[in-house]
């Protein structure tokens, strides 16, 4: 019982495909955004925390990076709420 191909209302089939396409697009856009965000964090935190690259990552370097990631995400939140909540 192939209801899609033999359905008289082909509108409902293309409606479904349209929804699928929209969801796929949204997922790809979200993915691209996340990748760009991660790349920015990597650049900033490498600059801040890995000042003299050694033969392995030190404990202070990795804790600096953890804090840096947290702070950068926090900074993004501050900027988002500054621009999109309070009117000035």
Phi, psi of 8 (to 5 degrees): -70, -30
Minimum CB separation of residue 39 from other proteins in Å reads: 10
Alpha helices, H only, 1-88 = 3-6, 10-49, 59-84
Query: What token pair was written down for 38?
Result: 């991660």
Is 31 a binder of other proteins (CB under 8 A)?
A: no
Is 80 a binder of other proteins (CB under 8 A)?
A: yes
Query: What token pair was written down for 26?
Result: 């949204």
Summarize as ranges the residues that interact with other proteins (CB under 8 A): 11, 14-15, 18, 22, 25-26, 29, 33, 36-37, 40, 44-45, 48-49, 64, 67-68, 70-72, 74-76, 78-80, 82-83, 88
């Amino acid at each position: 019982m192939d209801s899609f191909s033999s359905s008289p209302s082909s509108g409902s089939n293309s409606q479904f495909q349209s929804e699928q396409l929209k969801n796929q697009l949204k997922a790809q856009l979200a993915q691209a955004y996340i990748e760009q965000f991660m790349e920015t964090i990597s650049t900033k935190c490498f600059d801040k925390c890995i000042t003299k690259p050694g033969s392995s990552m030190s404990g202070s370097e990795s804790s600096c990076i953890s804090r840096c990631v947290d702070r950068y995400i926090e900074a993004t939140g501050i900027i988002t709420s500054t621009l999109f909540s309070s009117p000035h």
